Copies of this chain bind each other. A is one copy, B any other.
Amino acid sequence: MDRLISGEPRALARAISIVEDRLPAAREIVRTVYPRAGRAPIIGVTGPPGAGKSTLVDSLAVAYRKQDKRVGIIAVDPSSAFSGGAVLGDRIRMQRHSTDDGVFIRSMATRGHFGGLASATVDVADLMDASGCEVVVIETVGVGQDEVDVVRVADVVLVVLVPGLGDDIQTIKAGIMEIPDIFVLNKADREGIDRLHGDLKTMLSLFDAPGRPEPRILRTVATSGEGITELHAAVAEFLAGAQGAVLEARRRERSRERLLDLLRERVLEWAAGPVSGGAFERMVEDLTRRTMDPYSAADLLLERFDPETRAS
């Protein structure tokens, strides 16, 4: 723990693995780290595959390094159960920053057995924060529901779009339109950028989220670094600006998700464990034989669990 808090990368990597794998020591680690975290802002970055998100995040990291800030990057890839690309990607990206121990990159590919990906990601962000990262970027590979859930609770949310990816702006639904604080139109040197920009503006005028300022739209070419200084400034401005209530609400939402996730995990461990006296497995049998329905089975199990239901 001392080595983690003093910012040693190997201690951080080890602590993340313990927390990810829910080893017994995870509890003590989170207990120690929790009061020390909560300082580093969390930047969430999502968008369709091929939008150039990781190049963009790397360029942002360079901008923070110029301010001498330590940066943690969490690359979330729930799909890598299939592609297996995450670990390899880590290594390649680490090399890019290899002479600089001020950037720590970690990918999250799996959810725990019972836990949620969003909670696990927030745990890792806390660990990075406690070990001295002054900003944490959570970047998703795609835009699946899991990934949207992960970035939704960041302090500032960037959605990256590019012209001509086939993800016509018309097909982007209200759900994603409510997430971003900043739209990043990347690969802005490509044909179709003006149309994308115009379509996005029209779209935004249709989805007026009450009580929330309209998201900014910025153009970048991440490969050449164009627009990165402006993006870096826009993020800082959003975080420093008059958004106190917004940030507070998101942090509360993160706490809520995390607590719900732990409760869920605990109850499922209880149900599947010896404490339930084998009742859970008997119910599973009854469901499989279709001699009981799932709702009745859940009721019977919870009678053993919930003191309120028990008393009645």
Q: Is A104 an interface residue (CB 8 A)?
A: no
Mark contacts of A141-154 with chain B using CB atoms, 8 A cut-off: 1 yes-contact digit, 0 otherwise. 01111101000000
Contact B142 A293, beta carbon cutoff 8 Å: no
Shortest CB-to-CB span from A262 to chain B, Å, is 4
Shortest CB-to-CB span from A258 to chain B, Å, is 5
Contact B171 A31, beta carbon cutoff 8 Å: no
- How many A residues face the partner with a CB closer than 8 A? 73
Indicate which residue in B117, B293, B301 contacts A263 across the interface (CB closer than 8 Å): B301
Interface residues of A in 206-248 (CB under 8 A from B): 248
Chain B residues near A25 (CB, 8 Å)? none
Q: Is A48 an interface residue (CB 8 A)?
A: yes
Indicate which residue in B294, B301, B308 contacts A275 across the interface (CB closer than 8 Å): B308
Chain B residues near A256 (CB, 8 Å)? 284
Shortest CB-to-CB span from A122 to chain B, Å, is 9
Mark contacts of A38-70 with chain B using CB atoms, 8 A cut-off: 1 yes-contact digit, 0 otherwise. 100000000010000000000000000000000
Shortest CB-to-CB span from A170 to chain B, Å, is 9
Mark contacts of A271-284 with chain B using CB atoms, 8 A cut-off: 1 yes-contact digit, 0 otherwise. 11001000010011
Contact B302 A263, beta carbon cutoff 8 Å: yes
Contact B284 A252, beta carbon cutoff 8 Å: yes
Q: Is A167 an interface residue (CB 8 A)?
A: yes
A78 to B175, CA, bound (A): 13
Shortest CB-to-CB span from A89 to chain B, Å, is 11
Interface residues of A in 255-312 (CB under 8 A from B): 255-256, 258-260, 262-264, 266-268, 270-272, 275, 280, 283-285, 287-288, 290-291, 293-298, 301-302, 304-308, 310
Chain B residues near A271 (CB, 8 Å)? 259-260, 263
Known: A146-B146, A173-B82, A270-B306. A259 touches B283 (CB 8 A): yes
Contact A35 B290, beta carbon cutoff 8 Å: yes
Contact B255 A175, beta carbon cutoff 8 Å: no
6 further interface pairs, Cβ-Cβ under 8 Å (given A305-B306, A305-B307, A307-B307): A31-B296, A35-B291, A83-B171, A83-B173, A259-B284, A263-B267
Identify 13 residue pairs between A and B in the complex whose beta-carbon atoms are under 8 Å apart, listed by A's number.
Answer: A30-B295, A35-B293, A81-B145, A82-B144, A83-B143, A145-B146, A248-B288, A251-B288, A255-B288, A260-B272, A262-B295, A267-B302, A307-B307
Q: Which 4 A-B pairs have the closest CB atoms?
A: A255-B287, A84-B173, A34-B293, A82-B143
